[in-house]
Chain A
Amino acid sequence: MKEYALMMIGAALVNNVILARFLGLCSFMGVTTRIDTAAGMGLATTFVITVSSMADWAVQTYLLAPYGLGFLRTVTFILVIASAVQFTELTVRKVSPSLFQMLGIYLPLITTNCAVLGVALLLVESHMNFLASTLFAFASSLGYSLVMVIFAGLRERLALAPVPRLFAGPPIGFIVASLLAMAFMGFSGISTG
């Protein structure tokens, strides 16, 4: 139990997908102008990462590993992820048309969000069991959502600040992102003992 908890904290904070592994940066910069959009994106990605990781675990364990089809891993994983994204898109469109409009191109782009494939590939390499891998994927995506929301909050404040024109827009966004990443580096000092 304690191991699972530690692993989840590690996945969410210490090895944060965005700020420690630098995955999923396009959505990190793209849809974080408003908190509600970022939270919506976080939720959608959480769903996709969790579901696709479960499916990918099954594909890896029952199909790719027994038949020695490791070379097909990326292709099949992308296939699974794309289906999960398509399903999410259908759901979001049905449930919340305004969120659908706000996420725009970034919703289908979850497919190519490297965070999703990255988490699935990490799971394969770590050889975890089903429960552990699901929890790991869920924690990673929670970490992703957390950073998205925090950064969106910062950018909402930035929009109000009198930023010098030279830095206005993406430049100040990147500077703030780097500061946030440095703040998250503090988590790696947490003692596991």
Chain B
Amino acid sequence: MWGGAARPVVLVGQKVLKGQLLAQSQVHISAPIHAPVSGRVTAIGEVTAPHPSGLGLAAITVESDDTDRWIETDPVADPFALAPEEIARRTAAAGVVGLGGATFPAAVKFALGKRLAVHTLIVNGGECEPYLSSDDRIMRDFAEQVVEGARIIMHAIGARDALVGIEDNKPEAMAAMAVAAAAFPEVKIRPVPARYPMGSDKQLIETLTGKEVPADARAAEVGVLVHNVSTCAAVYKAIRLGQPLVERIVTINGAAVAEPGNIFAPLGCLVDDLLAYCGLKEVPARLILGGPMMGTLLLHGRVPLVKGASGILAFTAAEAAVPEAGPCIRCGSCTRACPMGLLPLEMAAHIRAGDLDGAVGYSLSDCISCGCCAYVCPSHIPLVQYFSHARGELSARERARLRTEAGKRLAEARLARLERDAREKAEVAARRKAERTAAKARSGTVKPEEETT
């Protein structure tokens, strides 16, 4: 979920142009960050992270000069003449990540698709969650960009065809996409039932291809790769226009918002500013970055918009009311609702009793945190919170284990070193002693030596 942090390459006070590189990615699973506006770097430090903990996260603050001057870009007229590796390189340099919410670097996925010989690209037009309509809007208004972006990705991973799965409650999007894809028979538009969580990889793949992605396997291993429509549009911009990812479409919704809608927002702008732009009818009782099911709870609105946020929801108290949780009555509603076919009630019971391994035995690792189980639970048990808690504990345990192992290796290396040092010292001492006795023998018994020579 968290890639490697990027390293800043600008200094406080420096003037930057829109699209200029601010921070360079350091490790494999990591993405660079570019200036979303032109202006001046005012701070490099911590801001509140868009995260339920409300902890700080390293950030670069840029003050806009209101001119929005772009840095010189490097557009490519014919991306299909480029080598696939070059497309991956440019996509990585543009900081394009999965915009559906996972924010996995797109170029890393390209390399994976290429290596595993993926034959089908699946373009995810199944809206991730209720309340959100950003994907719908992208497909309606920027269908050409999505289709071209999808074709560029196909070229980059060597896929033969692309399936665009669009939920059947979006007829306008489907019509626009059909027009845009008319000239390209390899891009096929497919309606999928509008049923949450259709926007989830594994569910969409199964609906479109009939193939089930095995547990602990990646989608690429069954020959498909999934990219969100917004990601396709971002790839189009990165390659054809040479523009890095500096803005994204975001749905502003919720009963507390006066004029809900979709807006293109520069990355890094404050959630409060975006809400103010759309107007607030009342002070929201709950702020969520992302969708209502899987989004991130925000403690306040003074947090930056990040690449993976497809929506900002401002709920009134009535909308956000959570009834008090009751005991599990073992009705099995969660089991029927789970799209992964898991047993949420059993997992939660084990976690409540502190038996995390028991929960793992019920395939906790396959849970996609979609929230269906908690939504249908008649006792309003916060099931997803149990699972998030258990995952956090498990990864902390895993980190502790790795730490212990690393410490053990180091301790063994030290013992080996000490032993070697002692041995070498002893050897040196022995040699010196031998030399001394030899020298003594020479000086003391010169005559016999002369006799022998």
Contact = CB atoms under 8 A, between A and B. Distances in A.
Kindly name the residue among A159, A160, A161, A162 whose own CB sees the greatest number of chain B CB atoms within 10 A. A160
Kindly name the residue among B327, B350, B352, B353 whose own CB sees the greatest number of chain A CB atoms within 10 A. B353
Contacts of B353: 159-160
Nearest to B354: A159
B343 to A, nearest CB: 12
B355 interface: yes
Interface residues of A, number: 4
A183 to B, nearest CB: 20
A160 B350 contact: yes
B349 interface: yes
Contacts of B352: 160, 162
Interface in A96-144: none
A159 B355 CA distance: 10
Nearest to A158: B353
Contacts of A162: 327, 352
Contacts of B349: 160-161
Given A159-B355, A160-B349, A161-B349, 7 more contacts: A159-B353, A160-B350, A160-B352, A160-B353, A160-B355, A162-B327, A162-B352
Contacts of A161: 349
Contacts of B355: 159-160
10 contacts: A159-B353, A159-B355, A160-B349, A160-B350, A160-B352, A160-B353, A160-B355, A161-B349, A162-B327, A162-B352
A162 B353 CA distance: 8
A161 B328 CA distance: 9
A160 B348 CA distance: 9
Contacts of B327: 162
Top 3 A-B pairs ranked by shortest CB distance?
A160-B349, A160-B353, A159-B353
A161 B352 CA distance: 9
B281 to A, nearest CB: 41
Interface of B: 327, 349-350, 352-353, 355
Contacts of A159: 353, 355
Interface in A150-193: 159-162
Nearest to A162: B327
Nearest to B345: A160
A85 B236 CA distance: 76
A159 B354 CA distance: 10
A161 B355 CA distance: 12
A46 B74 CA distance: 80
A160 B355 CA distance: 9
A160 B350 CA distance: 6
Contacts of A160: 349-350, 352-353, 355
A161 B353 CA distance: 8
A19 B425 CA distance: 73
A158 B204 CA distance: 39
A158 to B, nearest CB: 10
A161 B350 CA distance: 9
A28 B209 CA distance: 53
A22 B350 CA distance: 32
A33 B333 CA distance: 29
Nearest to A157: B349
A159 B327 CA distance: 15
A171 to B, nearest CB: 17
A159 B352 CA distance: 10
A160 B353 CA distance: 5
A160 B349 CA distance: 6
B325 to A, nearest CB: 11
Interface string A31-61: 0000000000000000000000000000000
Kindly name the residue among B327, B349, B350 whose own CB sees the greatest number of chain A CB atoms within 10 A. B349
A160 B347 CA distance: 10
Interface string A64-106: 0000000000000000000000000000000000000000000
Contacts of B350: 160
A111 B42 CA distance: 79
Nearest to B327: A162
Nearest to B350: A160
B352 to A, nearest CB: 7
A162 B355 CA distance: 14
A159 B349 CA distance: 9
A81 B327 CA distance: 48
A190 B349 CA distance: 37
A163 to B, nearest CB: 10
A127 to B, nearest CB: 49
A162 B325 CA distance: 13
Nearest to A160: B349
B290 to A, nearest CB: 32
A136 B349 CA distance: 41
A160 B362 CA distance: 14
